[in-house]
Structure 1
Amino acid sequence: MVSPFLPFLLSLTLVLILPLSSTSLSSHEKHKFQNLQSMNMDLLERETLFLIMDTMSSDRKWRLSSPNPCKTTSSWPGLECKPGNDNLLHVSRLDFGTKPNPTCKKTATFPSQIFHLPYLQSVFFSNCFTHTKTTISIPSPTNHKTSPLQQLSLRSNHALVGLVPPQISSLKSLQILTLSQNSLHGKIPEEMSSINSLIHLDLSYNFLTGSIPNQIGNLRNLVGIDLSYNSLTGTIPESIGQMGLLQKLDLSSNSLAGGIPDSLENLSFLVFMALSNNRLKGKFPDGMTKLQNLQYFIMDDNPMFMPLPSNLGRLVKLQELRLANSGYSGVIPVSFAQLLNLSTLSLQNNMLSGEIPVGLSNLSHIFHLNLSRNTLVGVVPFGVGFFKRLGRNLDLSGNLGLCLNGSQGIEDLNIGVGICGNYKTGSVIHPLKISGAPSEFFNLANLLSFLGVWGLYQRFF
């Protein structure tokens, strides 16, 4: 069953509202529609809009082709206007960079004039600043009047450089801030933690450095935070547990060290947590079992070097559990068979031993299982139906002690292990052949894969 949180969690995308055709409106709406057509723009605001368009786009001669840009009959693509209490039309939304919205010319730079549009609520720049280097410039508020901007999205702008400006804290109405896939560097400004209205923060895929500010816990209305694919260091701040409404937490692909903070247990609405590809280690917090809404836990590539925690089996809503390449030892907990909603389990390239729990064969929703490159032993407990359902999404290779019972009738399936021999007569396990290579090389490949665990240890220590 899909969580009601998930659609909002994974994508906080706003749909562009296009002008409605007058033919589809009721009589009351038609009257309102006609009134809008008779309204004009504030002259200063219109001139500001022309300056922005001259800076950004050369798709057409905007002043000549659309002298009244807010009029529905001649409105610009990527532009939305709304009436104000002054009987004038005001710009409320601007989209740039991808068609049908205006595309950006090579000389386009960030237009700070957008903050002079007094009714602007949403701005999108996607794949826009790609040639001329530019920075985010936010002027100081004038006459103590702050910008009403609620959403600022700057995505895939490789020529957008410089710092995340501390002045961004002056945008007191900001709810969604997306600065993803740009070339921003430097530290995350502490001042950002004063934007109490913020519900979604995405600074992923930049070159940010330094530690995550402890003050970030002040953003108590956050529902999603993504700081992945940067070069952040230090520890995960304990204050992150103050974000009681958080549903998405992505800190993957940084250089964070230390352990998972105990305060994480307070994030009872958390659905998605990604901490992979860092330098995290130490035991999991005992209170993690309180995260009963957690559906995605992704923590590959960390130097954990500890037994797999059995209490993860109590997170019964888990759909994906990824703990690969992290030096886990001991057995696969039997409690993992309680994760009946699990669709993906990735435990490859660890130091796991013992037998595969029989209960894993009862995970009816699983479609991806990777237990390769461990030291597992014994007869594989899955039936032919399980093997055929997963197909190539099942990988058991690199476990020298694993074998298939010949009576299972699955000798022809290429799943990376051999058929169990008759140990009473001294025969050995006969590995299945790899296409194009003699079978004796399969054991050698397995051995080298296993020895790769030593390389993993050297990587982190």
Structure 2
Amino acid sequence: MASSLYHLKFVYLLSILSAFHLIAAHPFSSVQPLCRGHERSYLLQFKDSFVINKSASSEPWAYPKVASWTLEGNNNDCCSWDGVECDEFTGHVIGLDLNSSCLYGSINSTSSLFHLVHLQRLNLADNHFKYSQIPSTVSNLSKLTHLDLSSSAFASQIPLEVSQLSQLSSLNLSGNAYLELKKPSLRSLVENLTFLEKLDLREVEIISMVPNILANLSFLTSLRLRDCRLYGEFPVGIFKLPNLRVLDMRHNEGLTGHLPDFQWSSTLEIMNLAKTSFSGKLPASIGNLGSLTTISIWGCNFSGFIPSSLGNLTGLNSLDLSYNTFEGRIPSSFGNLIQLYFLFLTYNKFTGPISFGLANLTKLTALSLGSNNFAGQIPSSIFNLTNLELLSLSFNYFSGTVEFDKFVKLKKLTFLRLSYNQVSLVESETSANKTFQKFVILGLSLCSLSKFPNFLANQDELEVLELDGNNIHGQVPEWVWNMSKESLKAIDLSDNFLTSLGQHPILLPWTNLAILDISSNNIQGSLPIPSSSTLQYCASNNSFIGKISELICNLSSLQVLDLAENNLSGPLPQCLHNFGDSLVLLEIQRNKFEGSIPQTWANGSKLMIINFSQNKFQGCLPRSLAKCITLKALDLSNNQFNDTFPSWLGNLPDLKILILRSNKFYGPVKILNMNYEFPNLQIVDLSYNSFTGMLPVELLLNSNSSRSDLAYHLSYIQVNSSFVVERNYQNIKFRFNYSFSMMMTNKGVDTIYEKVQEIFTALDFSSNRFAGAIPESIGNIKLLRLLNLSNNILTGHIPPTLGNLAELESLDFSQNKLVGEIPQQLTKLTFLESFNVSHNDLVGFIPQGKQFNTFQNSSFEGNSKLCGNPLSKKCKYYESLPPLLSASEKSQDSRSPLQFGWRIVMIGYGCGILVGVTIGHIVIARNHVWLMKTFGVR
């Protein structure tokens, strides 16, 4: 009996221990209720309102969390579903994390999501909601403390109801490029959110000043307003927020401000003001911000010297001061920044040798000192920075000889730019047999290289190779065509002494190439064709021969094509329209092309400059050129085009330069609608053709050249194209800046203009068969600097209105049939350097004074009835009779000696004109002192 009782007690004890073990393993299994049925229904309805699309989320780890939301089997407890969090006591859904869940579809105010009124945390980031508006019923979720709708393709205005979520401590609406915050404003949004700790509105279009109310959010730890188009003065009080750790205002170029005097303790860890208009100096007190790990102020307007106190920030990991105007030497205290991983000082005015203790910064992975005024030898301490992955020293004044093998010792180095210094780079003889790291970026421009570095033969991961401006002679080695076939994006071999590309394939092997520049060499043979991915192809100033291969038509993304100054021949490929939609520059001048230009041209063309000059093109111009609506300059000179004037180009809104010089154009120049044709034309050269009819000065009467109120500026007519190679630490931006050049006859000499100012205005209608009078309206082209009407059959007088052309520098009316006198008003042209009216039928007195005292006999020869200086023929008295003054000229100075003398002449009419003129001349010229004393004439 006792034994049996003992056995029962033992079994009971075991059962108690077993139960206790189960409770310990599942502490809430017996008390945690299943999720509320109605909330489960809301979740399922929400799931069903979307489709699963993997492209809806950008993160590589994205997966559809809602796939687990099902009632099959024993899965009806929604609290166990992926991304769902429930209150452990009530069972209400309090958290929903569907970040990167591949959800695709619209969301509106009737969504069942907004019935989950117990939600405290909601994360829908990295999905695609089809640019729907954030529903106003979000205000139903009044218990929300965390709301993350970032990068989810929301659009339109942020509703005011978001501001009613007064419990929010974290609000993230960033990465929605079509989201706006205007009504309500930023101020209206945050004024009720007094518990905010994190506010992230990056890329939301706000377009306002930064409200001072943000400086009252005392709990704020993170403020991110990058790329919001903010402007105005940044409130200094925000820097003083007691808990602020992250301040990111990057990419608000209208945002001004300065760094305050930091005389308080600060928790600030990240300060990113890059690409704003903050200005001034770095205060010495910046050294008090002991918690800073990141300073990024590149692309601002900061200036002055770097305070040595910056070296106190020994916790700094990243320091980027690039693209400012800092000057002077780098403080030696920089050697204290031993935690630095990234140091970017690019594009400033730093000077002197590098002597700030680089050897201490052993954690550096990226060091960029490019585009400054650093000098001296490259410091040997750089070669002790064994963690360096990026080193940029380009565009400085470093000098001396440096062995390439020293850089090879930096085993992690894959980004190296030494371009544009005074350094001579030396490669050891054995380098071809050594194993090198795989470089990605190599900038070795202007490094006195005499051959292709041998180590390149084994490089298969290069993306950028710059070898321009060296002394590389002869043939390109065969192994170059096998180098980095799949990775290479940009290669620059320009400005060397290459003569041959060797046995290259006609289609170059670099399948992802974007930039190919082989210009300014002396390369012979057929023109190579880069891959279809190429954006910029420059092969000018070489000796390429033969036709252009039709393979060039595959370059469907081409932006720049410059083949000028070669010996290329034959017709142009008929497929030019294949890359017309992307092309901005087409330069093929100074070759031997022939035939007609293909008539087809793409709609919506982006072409800005076309130069076909100095070839052998024939026939008519392609009418499809009228579709090049962005065209600024068209140069067709020195060909054999046989066509009428292209008045059909008159609707091009940006056309500034039209050069048809030295062709076979014929007939009258017809302007179809004087009020709307050629609205911006400033340079017209029609010389050496067979145009007839009246002078078409209307070509410029509609343009800005008729305005005198334009501000003087020195911008040039040019095309800019760029391509960015994106890297982890620093992007490489390739800029193609092409300034249009042209040749015009100026001062009787063919002159090449390497650059053409936007404001430069010129008319050259010379060597045609224009007839009739010179229009008086030509005097309305206020900004005209060059006017050449020579070698026509013009008749009539020289218009006095030419005296209004205050900017005129060169005037040529020679070889015409002009009559009458040279207007006295031309003496007002104080910038006139060249004047030629030779071989006309002009008569009378040559104006004297000012610029006319500088012109030679040749300016007036061939006019038998002209007299006076500089001609040897002196004027008789009746020939030198000055013209009667106009009413306006009389009123300008009623006491001038000339006018007083003329009154004496008029008195002399009673004795005959000859006597009167003689008396007047003598009184003015010989009795000037007597006149002053007697009549007070000055």
Q: What letter matches 2:295 in structure 1?
A: F
Q: Which residue of 1 aligns with 2:439?
A: none
Cα shift readout 1:261-287 (whole Å, capped 9, x = no counterpart):
427654611111111111111122443
- In structure 1, how many angstroms separate the alpha carbons of the residues matched to 2:405 and 2:35? 78
Distance apart, 1:331 and its partner CA:
2.0
**Equivalent position of 1:151 in the other structure:** 146
Aligned partner of 1:125 in structure 2 is 124
5 Å-filtered alignment, 1:420-435, equals 431-433=447-449
1:296 Cα shift?
0.7
Q: Deviation of residue 214 (structure 1)?
A: 1.0
What whole-Å deviation, never above 9, does each CA across 1:247-272 have from its counterpart, x for those lacking one? Answer: 11111111243333427654611111
- State which of 211, 220, 233 in structure 1 corresponds to 2:209: 211
Matching residue of 1:186: 181
SS at match of 1:289: helix
Residues 60-71 of structure 1 mapped to structure 2, 5 A cutoff? 65=72, 69-71=76-78
Give SS of 1:394's match. Answer: strand
Q: Name the SS of the counterpart of 1:241 in structure 2.
A: helix
Quote the residue 1:439 is aligned against.
Answer: 470
Asked which structure has the greater CA Rg, the reply is 2
Aligned residue among 302, 308, 327 for 1:304:
302
Aligned equivalent of 2:378: 380
Match of 2:158 among 161, 164, 167: 164
Q: Where does 1:205-284 land on structure 2 (aligned, <5 Å)?
A: 205-262=203-260, 266=264, 268-284=266-282
| Residues 298 and 267 of structure 1: CA distance in aligned 2, closer, same or farther (over 3 Å) | farther
- Native 8 Å contact 2:469 2:495 kept in 1: no
CA contact (8 A) 1:194 1:219 kept: no
TM-score (norm 1): 0.75
Q: Report the CA distance between 1:409 and its aligned residue.
A: 7.9
Q: Which position in structure 1 is the counterpart of 2:345? A: 347
Offset, 1:40: 5.3
How many pairs are equivalent? 399
Identify the residue that residue 397 of structure 1 maps to in structure 2.
394
* Structure with the largest fraction of strand: 2
Give 2:93's aligned residue: 91
Counterpart CA distance in 2 for 1:329 and 1:262 is 20
Higher helix share: 1
Distance in 2, Cα, partners of 1:284 & 1:437: 38
Change (3 A) 1:380 1:26: farther
Is this contact kept in 2: 1:241–1:266, CA < 8 A? no
Aligned equivalents of 1:122, 1:111: Cα separation in 2: 20
Conservation of the 8 A alpha-carbon contact between 2:131 and 2:155: no
Change (3 A) 1:265 1:420: farther
User: How do 1:127-142 residues align onto structure 2 when only pairs under 5 Å count?
Assistant: 127-138=126-137
Is the 1:93–1:120 Cα contact (8 Å) retained in structure 2? yes
Of stretches 45-54 and 316-325 in structure 1, the one that deviates more from structure 2 is 45-54
Cα contact 2:358–2:381 (8 A) shared by 1: no
Q: How far did residue 207 of structure 1 move?
A: 2.4
Q: After superposition, what is the alpha-carbon deviation per residue over 1:52-87, rounded to whole angstroms, capped at 9, x for unaligned? A: 334345777968659985455xx4332222244xxx
CA contact (8 A) 1:152 1:177 kept: yes
* 2:82 aligned residue (52, 60, 77): 77
How big is the shift at 1:311? Answer: 2.8
Higher normalized contact order (CA 8 Å, seq sep 6+, divided by chain length): 1
Question: 1:346 Cα deviation (Å)?
Answer: 0.4
Q: Percent identity?
A: 25
Match of residue 844 from structure 2: none
Counterpart CA distance in 2 for 1:419 and 1:331 is 21
Alignment check: 8 A CA contact 1:343 1:367 kept: yes
Q: How far does residue 242 in structure 1 lie from its aligned partner after superposition?
A: 3.9
Deviation at 1:244, TM superposition (A): 0.8
State the Cα distance separating 1:348 from its structure 2 match: 0.9
- For normalisation by structure 2, the TM-score amounts to 0.39
Unaligned runs of at least 5 residues, structure 2: 1-20, 53-65, 410-415, 426-445, 454-466, 473-492, 497-731, 736-938
Q: How does 1:104-115 map to 2 (within 5 A)?
A: 104-109=103-108, 113-115=112-114
Is residue 231–residue 255 contact of structure 1 (8 Å, CA) maintained in 2?
yes
Q: What amino acid maps onto 1:167 in structure 2?
A: E
- Distance in 1, matches of 2:217 and 2:376, equals 50
Distance 1:166 1:272, change over 3 A: same
1:93-143 alpha-carbon deviations (Å, 9 max, x no partner): 1233634xxx424344466654442321111112333425223424656xx
Label 1:337 to 1:403 Cα distance change in 2 as closer, same or farther (>3 A).
same
SS of the aligned residue for 1:135 comes to coil
Number of the residue aligned with 2:362? 364
Whole-angstrom distance in 1 between the partners of 2:72 and 2:206: 42
Q: Which amino acid in structure 2 is aligned with residue 129 of structure 1?
A: H
* Pairing 1:331–2:326 present: no
Q: CA RMSD in A?
A: 3.7
Please report how far the alpha carbon of residue 335 of structure 1 lies from its aligned counterpart in structure 2 after TM superposition: 2.3
Give the Cα separation in 1 of the matches to 2:186 and 2:288: 31
Which residue of structure 1 aligns with residue 198 of structure 2?
Answer: 200
Paired amino acid for 1:95 = D
SS at match of 2:376: strand
4+ long deviations beyond 6 Å? 58-63, 411-414, 441-445
